[in-house]
Every structure is written in structure tokens, then in C-alpha cells.
Amino acid sequence: MPDQKPKMVDFDAALHNENYDAEYLIPPVSPDDLFTLADRKCESLDGQWGFAIDPYENGMRKKWFNEITADDAGFPLPMDFDFDAWESIAVPACFNTQQKEFLFYEGMTWYTRRFYFVPDSEKPRVFMRFGGANYECRVWLNRKLIARHLGGSTPFAVEVTDYLQRENRLLVMVSNRRRPENVPALNTDWFNYGGLYRSVGLYRMPKSFIKDLFVRLVPDGEMNKIAVSVKVEGNARDCTVSIPGLGLDLALKLQDGEGECVVPASPELWSPESPKLYSVTARCEADVLSDEVGFKDFRAQAEKVLLNGKRIFLRGISMHEDSADVGKSLRAQDIEKSFAIAKELGCNFIRLAHYPHSDMAARIADRVGLLVWEEVPVYWTILFGNPATYQCAQNQLKELILRDRGRVSVCVWSVGNENPDNDERLEFMKGLIDTCRSLDDTRLVSAACLVNYKKLAMEDRLAEFVDIVGINEYYGWYRHNMEDLPRELANLDIGKPVMISEMGADALAGHHGSRDELFTEECQEYVYERQIEILSKFAFLCGLSPWILCDFRTPRRQNGFQRGWNLKGLVTADRNYKKKAFFTLQKFYHVKAKQSE
């Protein structure tokens, strides 16, 4: 039902009211509202939308969402907005890369479009899903505020059944303003791309529908059982799940909308060398959902990690979601290209830093055979003592896990990167670790922990609570004395898996000189050579993911070489040029791969 026409804005009050935002701070949508996407048909709302930047937040002050363009007597008013005459912008895309003037913009933006909707009695429930909007997002459908979401890299969904009309106006406020209470907070070493940079669409569901489907190998180390869990919305009592490739047809009884079963099975196990996937189809009354799943066993045993019962060295590389032309709004072909380069490098593992990347990433990794580390942006210093900040971090983590736990390539959930060790942070992280374990008992939990460089030893209480300890070390770059690296490593053999989650050096592509000259390719190459020489002597290490595959934008880097870019990439941001160090690491990974055959 359309709402009653709202009253005209009191212009004076709007100018004087600095508390204009308060009435729109509705509670954020819950991660529990997400549903398994699998092969669900999307009615895409992508395309050209009307767009305006709004640094003074005038749209909130003057309530543009009410679309009042005349006074109460019907006389037209000079308004500050005109949705249908706004310039148009592509969705999905980072607005920053759409026009030169938008590159460094941080603040409120407005997106709007109209769309038609024709109901379908077979599928009466309708949900609107946003793949990612950085950072705060508020959604009005036909003048009604229907959702607010916090967190720049995870999806959210909201039921719109009751708000849809035949002709609809969708208005979305997205703000990438950095705030101290956000996750991440004010200071990061990456670019703050903004806007509706992942797809937006409608999904129609029957009365009862499958909300969540989670199929995996039972993590008891025996590798001969499969567990299937489903969550159903509606009154259905039964659900069936079939995996024809394994001859499985399972009937699940639902209680309070949930069902689970464990069955004996001996699937061909998934690995980077042999990324075997099986089709699975779940049916619940009129709802049918199909997906591709795989089965693997990934576990820690003393200092080792085992994949399918066999020790594995994680030959990794870190990646940002960033490219020179489209920012973080990567298309499938961009991700495929990066993964192909990682494969060429000899990788079996990628660290998707420092926030959830597009859901396409893990899907492609499933297919091409790369183990994946996924991470939430609990980065450097955030307000660890603030309950709202914790809530937001936990929501982002849940949204990530619910979105991707069905992807067999995912092997690690990482809860943070280089955070200061204090009591508040420890409690915060313990909460996130518990969240990981309660949603998914088949992955290991990690974080990049801190080292005391005077003692050359780990000094981070978090290390005790994670399954894999990540160490970011920059010997040869930020720390000159490379001799300290073996001393530090000798102290890191702590009886649980430890990996070097970062090391590296900046090099401007094509800039050559001696190995002692910073920012030359030779200097970067030399850092890699020396690192590899030392790291390869420490057999307890379970993996390496140097920083980083490609150069990436970051406004905090402003010397004459960097000019707004972090140049630690082994490859340029356009992915067209490999620096010398690429081949150094490639050589090492080929040796490592041979050793593990």
C-alpha cells in the first residue's frame, strides 16, 4: 500500500536542525535475512541509475526521499533535487572511477531508478539484495525507508513484498564517509572506493523457500561422511537434497524450519590440483535450488596444516580487490585473470585481503582450484571497546560466512590484521572467533598477529586463540636488518601452524637500478631472494602469502614513485606487466610444488 503523502518540508526547520539524521538510524538489517543465492534467478536492477553526490547531506536534511515538489496547496516548489534529471551512473560500479571529479569523494551519495513490477502468484514473496555498497546504505522504496546496512563489503537482503507497486521508485543513499566507529575505521592502506559497486536485484520466492543450504564433508578427519543442513522459511515440513554424482537422495524432516543429516559417502575430494565439484539440488515444496559443491578436509595438526589428510605448504599470494580501471568493482573476467596469474606464479592459495571480496571470487576459486583465505576488515586500530563497532564487525563476519561457507575453496576465516594487543581487542576477537566456529566447523580461523621486534618473538595474546597464526614481516623493506628474520623465525616455532601472511617491497614497474636503491625492481627482487633463502630453512612454516599480487591505489602513499599507489605488487595494477620478483617467487613455488608431489 502506498503511504499517505508526506507533509511538505519546513524549510527553516530543515536548515536549523542539526539532528536531521537521527530519525533515519533504524537498526541495520540482520545477517539472518540473507539467503543462499546458488542459482536463484535474479531480476537485475543493474544498469544506469540517477546519481548525485551530497557532501552537505542535504538529501537527509530536506528529506528528498519524500519526493515533495509542491506545497500543500499544490504550487510547485524549487527543490534541490530532480531525480529524473540527475546525471546517470552505472550500477554496479565504484563512482570514483566513473568521473575524474569523483575520484577522491567521500560522503553521502544518492542513487535512484524506477522499475516496473508484475506480481507472480506462484512466487509471492520478493526480496531485494545488494551485493555490496560502501559503507553505509539506506534504501527507500516508494518513499518508505526499508533498510539500513553498515559495512562496505558484504551483501544484505530485505523483503520488499509489502512495499512493491506496479511502478516503483527506488532511492538509495550510500555514504563512504570514514568514521572512527566503523570497521575499518579511519586509517587503512587501501582506497576508499564508494557507491553501489556490486549488483542489485530482486528475487522471487514461493511461500516456503530454502533460505540456507550448507553441504560439506564431516570434519572428523575420516573423510567418509557428508553433512547437509537446510533452513527453510515458511511452513514446509520436508525438504529433499540430491547429489546425483554420489547417488544421494536425502529426505530431511524439518523442525522449526531446520533440518540436518549426516550420511556415509566417499566423494572424490577437492584440491587445487583436482578441483572436483558436484551438483547438488535441494527441493522444498515448490522451491528448487541447485549449486555446485565440493568436499575437502582442511585441518591443523601441531605446526602442520593438512589438506585431505596430507601435509600442504600454502604457496600463496595476497590480493586486494582493486584494479586501475574499475576500482574494486571487479568483473568475473578481472578475477579470472588475477587467479590465472596466481596459478602461473605457482600458487595453490590466495589471501583475499583485507575485507570480503566479491562472491564471484570464491566461486571462481572453487572452479580453478585455489584455496582461499577470506577476511573481515578488523584492520589496525578500530574502536574495540565500542559495542556497536563489535556488532558491526560480527555482522560483517556472519554475512561473509553465510555467503561463502558453501564454497569448498575457502579454508580460512581471518578475523583481523595487525591490531594492537589490549584487553578490549582480545575480548572482541574472541567473540569473532566464536562466531566463526559456531557458523562453520570446517574452516580454520586466523589473524595476522603481532611480533615484538625487540625480543624478536611473538607478543600477541590472540595467537593462542586462532588455529593459524599469521605473521606480517617486512625484513628487507621496513626493517633493514635481515639477520633478525632467522632469529625471529626461530622463536616462532610454537607448535601450531604459523604462516608468513605478508612480506614484500615496493617497486615501480620498469624502474631499474641497483638492489640497494629503493623502489627499483632489483631491490624488490633482492628482498624476495633473501626472504626465500631464509624462509625455506624453516620447515615448520605452513605457508607464505607475500604482499601482494598487484599494485593497488592507496591515498596514504605519496612519494615520487608511489603517487597514490602501493607498489608492492609483483604485477602492475593493469595486470599487464610482471616485475622481476614475480619470477623469483615463481621459481621458489615451483620447487615447493615439486617437493610436495
Return residues touching ligand GCB (CB under 6 A).
Answer: 189, 354, 417-418, 472, 502, 547, 566, 568
Q: Which residues pair with 116 in a beta bridge?
A: 167
Q: Is the peptide bond before 2 cis (omega within 30 degrees of 0)?
A: no
CA distances from 571 to 57, 317, 322, 338, 581 (A): 39, 12, 13, 10, 9
Nearer to ligand GCB, 142 or 318 (CB): 318
Whether residue 128 contacts residue 200, with contact meaning beta carbons closer than 8 Å, is answered with yes
Nearer to ligand GCB, 354 or 553 (CB): 354
Nearer to ligand GCB, 208 or 472 (CB): 472
Q: Which three cell numbers stand for residue 565?
A: 599507489
Whether residue 318 contacts residue 502, with contact meaning beta carbons closer than 8 Å, is answered with yes
Phi-psi region of 575 (alpha: psi -120 to 50; beta: other; left: phi over 0): left
Supply the minimum distance, in Å, between the C-beta of residue 437 and ligand GCB.
Answer: 24
Q: What CA–CA distance (Å, rounded) separates 217 from 144?
A: 44
CA distances from 7 to 339, 388, 498 (A): 54, 33, 61
Q: Round to the nearest angstrom and report the end-to-end CA distance of the chain.
A: 65
Q: Which of 293, 337, 345 is nearest to 316 (CA)?
A: 345
Nearer to ligand GCB, 36 or 524 (CB): 524
Supply the minimum distance, in Å, between the C-beta of residue 320 and ligand GCB.
Answer: 8
Q: What CA–CA distance (Å, rounded) separates 180 from 188?
A: 12
Nearer to ligand GCB, 295 or 547 (CB): 547
Q: Which residues pair with 170 in a beta bridge?
A: 113, 141
Supply the minimum distance, in Å, between the C-beta of residue 400 and ligand GCB.
Answer: 18
Nearer to ligand GCB, 56 or 478 (CB): 478
Nearer to ligand GCB, 183 or 200 (CB): 183
Q: Which three cell numbers stand for residue 169?
A: 521508485
Supply the minimum distance, in Å, between the C-beta of residue 485 and ligand GCB.
Answer: 15
Nearer to ligand GCB, 205 or 500 (CB): 500
Supply the minimum distance, in Å, between the C-beta of residue 318 and ligand GCB.
Answer: 8
User: How many other C-beta atoms lie within 10 A of the C-beta of residue 525?
Assistant: 21
Q: Which three cell numbers stand for residue 574?
A: 593493469
Phi-psi region of 120 (alpha: psi -120 to 50; beta: other; left: phi over 0): beta
Nearer to ligand GCB, 189 or 366 (CB): 189
Supply the minimum distance, in Å, between the C-beta of residue 475 and ligand GCB.
Answer: 12
Supply the minimum distance, in Å, between the C-beta of residue 261 and ligand GCB.
Answer: 42
Q: What CA–CA distance (Å, rounded) separates 213 from 402?
A: 10
Supply the minimum distance, in Å, between the C-beta of residue 403 and ligand GCB.
Answer: 23
Q: What CA–CA distance (Å, rounded) separates 307 from 214?
A: 20
Nearer to ligand GCB, 241 or 317 (CB): 317
Supply the minimum distance, in Å, between the C-beta of residue 187 and ligand GCB.
Answer: 11
Which residues touch 119 (CB under 8 Å, ≥6 apart)?
164
Supply the minimum distance, in Å, between the C-beta of residue 447 and ligand GCB.
Answer: 11
Q: Which residue minimizes CB distance to ligand GCB? A: 189
